[in-house]
Structure formats: structure tokens, C-alpha cells
Structure 1
Amino acid sequence: MRFKAAPSRDRLQLTAFKNPEFALFATAMFLGYLGLYIPFFYIQIYSSENSNITGELYFYLITIMNGAGLFGGLILGHLADIIGPFNAFCLSAGACGALVFGWIGISSEASILAFCILYGFFSSGLITIPATVVAVNLCPDIEQYGVRMTLQMVPAAIGLLVGNPIAGAILGHGWPALQAFAAVLIVSSAAFAMTARVINRDPKANQTFQQISYDTTDELGMNSLHLPKTWTRAAILIRINSLIKGVSAVRQIVVERLGDLLTHDIVPIIPLRDSISASGDHSPLSYIGEAIQGKPTIRIHTKDLNDVFAEEAFANKGISPVILDAKENLAFVNGTAVSTASAALALYDAHTLALLAQVITAMSVEALNGTLESFDAFFSLMRPHPGQTEAAKNIHSFLSGSKLTKINTGEGMTLRQDRCSIHTAPQWIGPVLEDFLLAHQQVQFSNRQPITKSVTSAMDKVRQGNCTIGRMLFAQSVEIINPATSRGMTPNLVLEDPSTSFIFKGTDISSAPLQAELRFLSTPMNHKQTAEMGNQSLNSLALISARYTHTSNDVLTQLMASQLIAVCQALDLRVMHIQFLENFRPEFEAVYHAFSSKFPGEVIGNITNQPALLEALWKQMVNSLETTVTLNAKDRFTAIAQACRATLLNSAFMYDSKTPVRSTEEFCGNLANAMLETWVAHREAYLIHGDATTYLGQGSASRAFAPRAPSQG
């Protein structure tokens, strides 16, 4: 048999200098070491020529600098673990550069000693920290550390070799020239290192050479690779509940250690994707099993980025790990605790969202001036589906006490019944509630060695139910925002003139992809894959189904948030419209009586004998308010006033008027001006202290927790 030759290795790895931060830090090392040892080499000569140091103290200045460097190396090294090695190096180089600039002109014994101590302290950072910078920030593969460190030390060694001779040549121009030369070099080193740090984008790299910390702070984010801590805690609790039944042949001490994990918050980090949920969640449960044994390789959730492992966590709490006996390992991992835990948490959220959907539906009925008859108990008696009965009962209860719903007798109404998005809501939500109840029953089980298809089925039902609820809410939102179906509300629920703002058009647009994503996520988890070389040919993938159910809940929550804000705005607009009519009625009557007072006595008699005319004009004005919502205020109220023209001209008393057209136009102009003035004043007042709660039903109390929509789009 002929073996392939081992691949050749690039021992020099000069391609590392193509990395900007690596090249910049190499430049920083060259410049830093070019000037770093100039004070060490020349401080004794400078002191003997320019200072008032007594005796032979100047002979010990280098010893003093080296002694201070011993403490500096320890302290700055510890500081590097806190603020990051790059930051610590920049701090050391910057401090050394500042000290060398301060060296210019000092001559007293105290100042020389202070300079030596401080420079020796901070210069140790330039000597000891570069190794950590390379290991943590500039070495993607730790096996390349030796080569990478050598590539950094070569320019540093060159700088060290040529720095002092160059300084000796510069000394011929005086001590200030030498000191400035050294200071500029070290400050330049700090600048290059800082630039490399910015490019490296690692402002706080608190990793060590031996291990790299695992970030657990964004456990719910898209890039998380581990189960959320709450899921793991729930899994531990469910596993305890299963094992204490006594059918899995584990000792009491094992259950007690599981309880200690919860009591002392020692929660292991479990990979997000590892389980096929066939004869159990083997891989995730093995992490919990190894945690109670205090394995040094099992990471524990912490509140910061510091790594803590199970062995250390148990020692910190004074707890002795347990060693699993024969077959206890198998008994421990044969279970569905992880998938069941995540499913139970997802189902809890789904129940809450289903209830909130019924609250939002009740609010939508109010916003659309709907009727209670769609939720009457009669329909449940005729079609006794339990989910429909519960939904209708809940929505009817939420609408109790509302002043915005109407009794639709068909007289004077455009539609005999409300639109489908609200009047069929109980029939739409009902099956979802029944599915959620069945899912709840399916999740409530524990078994030693199950095929967890029940959990998968339950989660599939929840995702499909979320899609159904989202579709209903999306339809309600569209009808509220659309002026053609909103029964008198402005386009896009704008408070100002429709031509100046499109505030809720973005809500309508953003809701569409959310609903599309819900439909995508509602796909059943039927993508089975044979595992363990065919031994586990059937597996449920329950944990995957539960994970995507959490995602579905998140998407539906965002959709509901958008709908809730929109319906709260709609309720404000509806109540503002009602209060405007209440406030304008006296103004309307005043305009009418001012108009009628200009006619002769016999005509006035005809007017007063026709009380229905005033109500006919008022009804025409109210109806026109609903059909002119797309116009700006000035044009809108002019159009409303002109709509009253035909009613006025067709009245009997206008036949006695000598100038019916001129009188009618005068009335319409006065009415338009009065409406515009009252509307603007009322709108501004409502923005400041408007309150719709007295008009709302019991379920719409949630509106009090929603922010007021801004006045500008």
C-alpha cells in the first residue's frame, strides 16, 4: 500500500503580514523596541552629567528600573485579563512615551528616581504583554502560535539592535534630541498598536492562552449555538419529575444532585442542535448527566463572559459530584426532558398569545364600530364546538360595557353584518384553542424510553395555530387601516391631513412578511432522517419542532404588537370622532338658526314647522364625514357642507325664498368654516388630554399600556 506524502507546511507563514492588524502590530513592536531600551542604556550617563544625585545612587538606577518592572509585569498582566491585552499594551506604550517626554529637562534626584520607577513599571508591559496579544488576537490557530510570535519578535529584535546605536549618534546633538527621539518612537508604537486594536474589533478580549471564553449573553439571538438557560432549567425539573417515579432504577443521590443544579443555579450549557428525539434526547441529557458528575469539560451558564466549568462550580458551592453507577447513564439519557421542556415553554407562550388575539379582536370590533351579535351564545348552541364557544364567550365578555359597538338592525347600515375578519372570529379561533388544548395534553407525559412523536405533533399544531391566528389579525389590521373598510377612519390611521402623513402604511407593509413567515414556519416536522446506521430509523425531531415553535411565537408576537398599536390608534380616532360630533352639535345648530333667521316671518314659520330638516341636515353631515376621510381637512369640510346643499334646496320652505341659491351657498360656507375651526381645535385638545378609556369595553383595558401613536408620520 502506498501512502500519500504529508502535505508540506509553510513554516515561515509570511502571508500573516497580509493581515492588517498583524502587520500594524509588527510595526508597533519594531518602533517600540527601537526606543524602549534607550532610557535603560543612557539614564546613568544622563544622571551623572545633568542631575544632582548624591553619592553613587546613579549606579543603581537600572536596578531600580528592573525592580519596578517586576511589579509592573505582574500588575499589567493581570490588567490585561480585565481590559484585554491590546488595551493593556497601548496603555503601557502610551505611558512610556509620556514619561520619556517628561524626561526632557528633569535633573533633581527625586524626579530622576520617580522617572526610573514609573518607566520601569510601564516598560514591563511592552516586554511581557506582546506574547498574550499574539496568542489571543493575532493567532487564529493556536498551533501556529510559535511561528506567529517569532514573526512579531523579529522586527522587535531588529529595533532593539539598532535603536541604541542610532540614539548614540543623535546624542551628539544634545540630550533633548535623544530624549525626543525615544519618546516619538514609543508614542508611535502606541499609535500603531491602537490602530491594530481598532481593526481587530476586540476591545475587551478577556480570553486566555489555554481557553477561549464562550459567550452566553445572546442565548436567544439568531447566532446562538446553545439552548437558552430557561429551557435547560425546565428540562432538569422535568427529568427530576420522571426519575422520582422510581421506574428508571437511579439512586436518590442522583435526583438530589439534579435538585442541586436548580438550587445553586449550576446550569450546564447544552448545544442547540444535537438531538433527534428518538428513544430520548440523548445528547442534551448527557450534558446534564455529566454536569452532576462535576466533569471539568462541561461549561456552566454565568452572568458574564468568564468560563466556569462543572467541577469548579461544584467546588465553589461545596457540593460533592455524584458518580453514576452501571446503567444509570442509560437510564438518565433515555427520556424526553429537553424536548418536552422547550415544548412546554412554547405552549405556555402560545396560550398567552391566543388569549391576546381574542382581546385584540374585541378591540378591533370596537374600532370598526362592529356589533355584539356575532358573539351571541345562540350560535354556540347551534354549533356546539367547545373552542368556538369559549372564543365567543371571551370576546363577548371583553366587549362588555363598550360604547363603540352598535346594534345592527339593517336600517341605515351599509352592511347587514360585520366583515368576516371580526364576525367569524370565534369560528376561526375556536379550532386553534381546541388544538392547543390537545397539544397541552400531549406534552403532559413522562416516559422512560419514548418515541416523542407526541411532542412533535403538539408543536406542529401550535405553529399551525399561530399561522391561523396571524392570518385573522392581519385581515383585521388591513380593514382598520384601509379607509374603504374602516367605517370613517382616515387612510393609514393618520391624525393629520391624509396627504401629509402615511404613519401606519409601514405597519401594514411590515405585517405582510411576518404573516408569510408564520406560514413558512407552520410546515409540519415531517423531514425524518435515519440515524445510528439505521438503528433509529424512526425519530420525531421533537426538539427541532419545539425550537421552531418558539420562533413562530416570536414572529406572532411581533405581528400582534404591530396590530395592537394600530388598533389603539384606531380607537383614539374613533373616540375623537365621536367627541367631535358631540362638541360640534351646538355649533351646527347655531349656524342653522343664524341661516334661518334671515328669512321673512312667513318663511320662518315654515322652517319651524319642519323640525325634521335640522335632523336631516345633521344626518347628511355625519354620513359625509365617513365618505370624505381621504380629503384634507379644508377640502373635506367644504365637501361635507356642499353635500348638505341638495337636502336644503329640496326642503319646502326654500320655495318661498327669493334667493335660494345664494342663501344655500352662504349656509354651506358658514358650516364649512365652523366645522374646520371646531375640528382643528378639538384635534389639538385631544392630542394633549384625550382619553378613550371611558368608551371602551373591559378587554380594551390593555390599551392603557400601549404608547400613544405619534402625531406625525
Structure 2
Amino acid sequence: MTPVVLDGKQLVPELVMEVALDCRAVILCADAAERVSRCREMVEELVAAGKVVYGVSTGFGKFSDVHISPQDAAKLQINLIRSHACAVGSPLPEATVRALMLLRANALAKGYSGIRPVTLQLLIDCINLGVHPVVPEQGSLGASGDLAPLSHLALVLMGEGEAFYQGERLPGAAALARAGLKPITLQAKEGLALINGTQIMTSIGTLTFMKAQRLAQIADAIAALTLESLRGIPEAFAEEVHQARPYPEQIGVAKNFRTLLKGSKLTTRQGEIRVQDAYSLRCLPQVHGATRQVLDYVRDKLTIEINSATDNPLLFPEDGQVISGGNFHGQPIAFAMDFLKIGMSELANISERRTERLVNPALSGGLPPFLSRNPGIGSGLMITQYVSASLVSENKVLAHPASVDSIPSSANQEDHVSMGTTAARHAVQVVDNVSKVLAIELICAAEAAEFIGADGLAPATRALYEKLRTLVPPVVDDRSTSADIERTADALLSGEFLVAVEAITGPLY
């Protein structure tokens, strides 16, 4: 693959995922390099002139009124990183660290941060050579940037801290040396430029969004298989119904269902078995479509954020201004992550209700109780619905908005914070739970299809069913299905099922 060219303006979530997961290389475009150099010259002129600039000739936070001499400018930045590197918890996954390194490099490439070109290049070299700082996941308030976690990234550039390299956890200096790189000594403004930003919450959020988008698409196919197994009525997806309430996302999801169910011999017509389906089947375009609205909102905010300068102060060489502002405040991403949690939780809520209809003999329209082949002696898939209910209940706790909380910091100088990184971390857990809830529905729907005749499935849902059967055999006799659920959830997240379905349907909405 050709390298991703960073210019601070055109990064999109799909490219972030390719760098994070596929280790696609990164280069800095010439225009961005020129902007970075010009901005750095301005920093050096300010230091030489003895101008008062926050974080360059002053302390940080409440210490912004403390003057720092030019002789101590470098020491100030080094102390900043060492003192702020106090995050705790498990290390972020290496893919997330690659994403945050990319996002930080892209923000610096905008040319407003005052970083030296050599420091930015070292960050890019670490991405390309696989030096991944050990970044603990907890400790950010999501305003003044993700200070504590990002400081662990900066430590490695200084030859301190720890990093993963080729699967081994090493001291930062050793990891750099093995990759053939040399640490740098931070100069004026550079420590602040590296840590004053929203890249932790945004990197977590971007990778989680990409997984969520994939789950939202395959959820339509899983629900279509369930509808067939319950002999549902596809007339609820008629185009004229959804044009009468013209949400684009609802219209798009309804079209998906018409495509997915085309050629099915298992669906029924109004009045043939029942006049109307339950809401968890009939209202699929309305509910799944509303989740797509959430995802559209989240994509928009993430795309803006990953192409933003989010540190402070910002330097504008064109007119010689240095402006202290608040672009480091994570409120837009905090809201987006909380919204993502809510939208994805609902995708799981309605999926669990469909699973209940599949296993409950009072609701399944004649399917064996709990899809057991020997009811009574065998419990079949009874307890998978319990697991699904547990996961959706957990999501309701996780979906509580982190963004409504704020605790003042730095002696009340930083008196309102976003808690955006907490929201993003909880979104990871929600999306992981959703993948398992959908996996349970898929396993149950496939089992139900065998009872009513899988040969009658539509070509698209038949492809979904057959793909599942390469991972999960029929539950002929009772067995533990934990590994089946986990394996299926992983394949849903990886996109394997979506590829199988879209080979029949073409790209779904």
C-alpha cells in the first residue's frame, strides 16, 4: 500500500484504521513540512525576544503566572512530560496507540503547534518502524487535552518510559535503539505541543466507530435472517412506507431489507399467518435507521477532530499572533462518544428482543422451545438469551453519559472538563457487548432456520447462514456455546460476515 500522506486536513476514519490495524506507512507532505518549519522559527524568535507566551516562558495550568527564563525553556518541557506521565491502568492496545500517534502527527502537521520538524519526524518514524509507546488507558479528564496518557507517548520520544517493539515490552530508549532511532531532547513548546490535545479519546473513538459501523450494517442481515425464521412480513419495508417518513437513514435501511429478503421462500404476507409483526421486526428500519443517524453524527465529529489543531497556545506565523484558546477541550468528542454508546446500545436492545422471540415457544410461531432438538432433556439455546439480556443490561449502565460530569482541576484554573476519554473507553465496551448480542441472535436465527427449512432462505441470508456454519456447527446436542459466541462476535467485528453477504447483494447502505 502507498503511504498515507499527512497534511493536517484530509485524514478520514478509514485511513486511521488502515494505519492502526494494517500498519500502513505514513509520510509528511511537503507543504505541511514547510508550515511546521515556519511555525518553529516563530517559536525560536519568541524565545529569543523574551516574549511572555504560555507554556514557553510560563509554567502550566495554575502556574501560568510563573515566569520561566529562556535558559530553563527546555527543562520546563522535560519536566512537563515527566510530571504529567502518571496515567494508570492497562496499556492501550497497540492499534489504538498507532492511531493516536497518527492523529497527533496529523494535528502537528497543521503547523500551528511550534514543534520542531525533527521531533515530528521521530514520531512518524516510530509509527512506520513499529515503536509503540506503552500508554496506560486511565487518567485523562478530556480537557487541557489527554495530558496524562499522551505524556507516556512523549516520554518514549525522549528515550524514557516504555514501548512495545516487535512484541516485546522494552524501556523506551532500548525500543528506539532496536528500531535504529535516536531520542530527542525537547525544546521550548514541544512538550506542550505533544500532549495538549484530544488524541486519546479521538483515536479510541475512531477505531470504535469503525467497528460500530460494521456492526450496524451486518445487524440488518442478521435481523433479516431472524425475520425469515419467524415467518415475518416484509411488506413493512415497502418503499412508499418509508418515503412517507423520509429520514434518509430509515429509507436506506428499509432498502437493505428489501435487498436482503429478495427471493425468500420463508417470508409471509399480511394475514397469511398474522396481520402484523412485533415491533422488533416491523420497526427495523425505524430503529436501525436511527442508529445510522447516530453513526453519521459521530463520523462527522470525528472527521473534524482528527484534522484539527487541539493544543494551546496556537501560533499563527502569517500575522505573528500567539493565541491562548481552548481547542484542547474534548466536549465535542465526549458528546459524540456518549451518543455512540446510546445508539449502539439500542441496536443490541432490539436484537435481544428478537432472540427472545426465537427461543420463546409462546412467541416463535411453532419453533421448538429454546430451539432444543430434545426439549426437556436438552435446554438448547435457552441460556444464550440470558447472556444477551445480561449484556444489554450492562450496556445500559455503560451508556450513562460521561460528558455530564466535570471535576475542576489545577487549583480551579481548569474548572470544567469533558470526561471525553472516559466516554470513549466505555464506548469500546458497549460495542464489544453489541457484537456478542448480535452473535447470539445470529446463532439462534441460524438454528431456527434449520427447523423451518434453510433451503428456503433468500440468497443473501443463505450466504450469512452458510458463513456461520463454517464457524459454528448446529447445536444437535447440548454443549457449551461460549466459544461459538466469541468466535462469531470476532468475525462480525472483522467484517467476514459482511463480505459474505455483500458478495450476493452488492454494497449495502
TM-score normalized with structure 2 length: 0.70
Distance in 2, Cα, partners of 1:437 & 1:271? 30
> Letter of the aligned partner of 2:367 in structure 1?
M
Distance in 2, Cα, partners of 1:403 & 1:566? 19
Which residue number in structure 2 is paired with residue 695 of structure 1?
A: 457
Unaligned stretches of 5+ residues in structure 2: 1-87, 312-326, 479-509
Which residue number in structure 2 is paired with residue 237 of structure 1?
A: 102
Kindly provide the CA deviation profile for residues 38-59 of structure 1, in whole angstroms up to 9, marking residues without a partner as x: xxxxxxxxxxxxxxxxxxxxxx
Give the deviation of 1:302 after TM superposition.
4.4
Identity of aligned residues (%): 27
Kindly provide the CA deviation profile for residues 13-35 of structure 1, in whole angstroms up to 9, marking residues without a partner as x: xxxxxxxxxxxxxxxxxxxxxxx
User: Equivalences for 1:560-579 in 2 at 5 Å?
Assistant: 560-575=438-453
Classify the secondary structure of the residue corresponding to 1:528.
coil
Distance in 1, Cα, partners of 2:288 & 2:123? 40
Classify the secondary structure of the residue corresponding to 2:365.
coil
Say if 1:495 and 1:573, in contact at 8 Å, map to a contact too: no
Give the deviation of 1:239 after TM superposition.
0.8
Which residue number in structure 2 is paired with residue 309 of structure 1?
A: 171
Tell me whether 1:382 sits opposite 2:241 in the alignment.
no
Distance in 1, Cα, partners of 2:145 & 2:261? 46
Give the deviation of 1:385 after TM superposition.
0.9
Distance in 2, Cα, partners of 1:294 & 1:260? 14
Give the deviation of 1:336 after TM superposition.
1.0
Give the deviation of 1:414 after TM superposition.
4.6
The verdict on how the C-alpha distance between 1:369 and 1:239 changes in structure 2, with shifts beyond 3 A counting, is: same
> Letter of the aligned partner of 2:247 in structure 1?
H
Distance in 1, Cα, partners of 2:130 & 2:439? 33
Kindly provide the CA deviation profile for residues 642-677 of structure 1, in whole angstroms up to 9, marking residues without a partner as x: xxxxxxxxxxxxxxxxxxxxxxxxxxxxxxxxxxxx
Which residue number in structure 2 is paired with residue 299 of structure 1?
A: 162
Classify the secondary structure of the residue corresponding to 2:296.
helix
Equivalent of 1:519 in 396, 402, 407: 396
Distance in 2, Cα, partners of 1:268 & 1:323? 17
Say if 1:403 and 1:697, in contact at 8 Å, map to a contact too: no
Unaligned stretches of 5+ residues in structure 1: 1-222, 576-691
Which residue number in structure 1 is paired with residue 289 of structure 2?
A: 430
Give the deviation of 1:352 after TM superposition.
1.1
> Letter of the aligned partner of 2:176 in structure 1?
F
Give the deviation of 1:312 after TM superposition.
1.4
Classify the secondary structure of the residue corresponding to 1:530.
coil
Kindly provide the CA deviation profile for residues 539-592 of structure 1, in whole angstroms up to 9, marking residues without a partner as x: 1111111111101111111111111110110111110xxxxxxxxxxxxxxxxx
Distance in 2, Cα, partners of 1:546 & 1:499? 44
Distance in 2, Cα, partners of 1:459 & 1:571? 36
The verdict on how the C-alpha distance between 1:557 and 1:485 changes in structure 2, with shifts beyond 3 A counting, is: same
Equivalent of 1:439 in 298, 305, 314: 298
Distance in 1, Cα, partners of 2:109 & 2:199? 13
Classify the secondary structure of the residue corresponding to 2:133.
coil
User: Equivalences for 1:447-526 in 2 at 5 Å?
Assistant: 447-449=309-311, 450=327, 451-496=329-374, 498-525=375-402, 526=404
Give the deviation of 1:459 after TM superposition.
0.7
Say if 1:463 and 1:521, in contact at 8 Å, map to a contact too: yes
Kindly provide the CA deviation profile for residues 304-325 of structure 1, in whole angstroms up to 9, marking residues without a partner as x: 6x65112112222322222222
Distance in 2, Cα, partners of 1:432 & 1:417? 23
Tell me whether 1:554 sits opposite 2:426 in the alignment.
no
Say if 1:482 and 1:491, in contact at 8 Å, map to a contact too: yes
Distance in 1, Cα, partners of 2:149 & 2:89? 16
User: Equivalences for 1:530-679 in 2 at 5 Å?
Assistant: 530-575=408-453
Distance in 2, Cα, partners of 1:433 & 1:448? 28
Say if 1:377 and 1:393, in contact at 8 Å, map to a contact too: yes
> Letter of the aligned partner of 1:362 in structure 2?
A
Q: Rg bigger for which structure?
A: 1
Decide which structure has greater strand share.
Answer: 2
Say if 1:507 and 1:562, in contact at 8 Å, map to a contact too: yes
Equivalent of 1:710 in 451, 460, 475: 475
Distance in 2, Cα, partners of 1:521 & 1:378? 37
Which residue number in structure 1 is paired with residue 31 of structure 2?
A: none
Tell me whether 1:357 sits opposite 2:219 in the alignment.
yes
Distance in 2, Cα, partners of 1:317 & 1:520? 43
Give the deviation of 1:696 after TM superposition.
2.8
User: Equivalences for 1:45-60 in 2 at 5 Å?
Assistant: none
> Letter of the aligned partner of 2:467 in structure 1?
F
The verdict on how the C-alpha distance between 1:378 and 1:355 changes in structure 2, with shifts beyond 3 A counting, is: same
The verdict on how the C-alpha distance between 1:509 and 1:448 changes in structure 2, with shifts beyond 3 A counting, is: closer
The verdict on how the C-alpha distance between 1:693 and 1:414 changes in structure 2, with shifts beyond 3 A counting, is: closer
Distance in 2, Cα, partners of 1:547 & 1:252? 32
Distance in 1, Cα, partners of 2:263 & 2:473? 23
The verdict on how the C-alpha distance between 1:310 and 1:698 changes in structure 2, with shifts beyond 3 A counting, is: same
Give the deviation of 1:708 after TM superposition.
2.3
Give the deviation of 1:700 after TM superposition.
4.2
Distance in 2, Cα, partners of 1:232 & 1:510? 31
Classify the secondary structure of the residue corresponding to 2:429.
helix
Give the deviation of 1:229 after TM superposition.
1.4
Which residue number in structure 1 is paired with residue 124 of structure 2?
A: 259
Say if 1:391 and 1:426, in contact at 8 Å, map to a contact too: yes
> Letter of the aligned partner of 1:567 in structure 2?
A
> Letter of the aligned partner of 2:91 in structure 1?
H
Say if 1:402 and 1:698, in contact at 8 Å, map to a contact too: no
Distance in 1, Cα, partners of 2:395 & 2:169? 37
| Structure 1 runs (4+) greater than 3 angstroms displaced | none
Which residue number in structure 2 is paired with residue 348 of structure 1?
A: 210
The verdict on how the C-alpha distance between 1:486 and 1:307 changes in structure 2, with shifts beyond 3 A counting, is: closer
Q: How many residues get paired?
A: 368
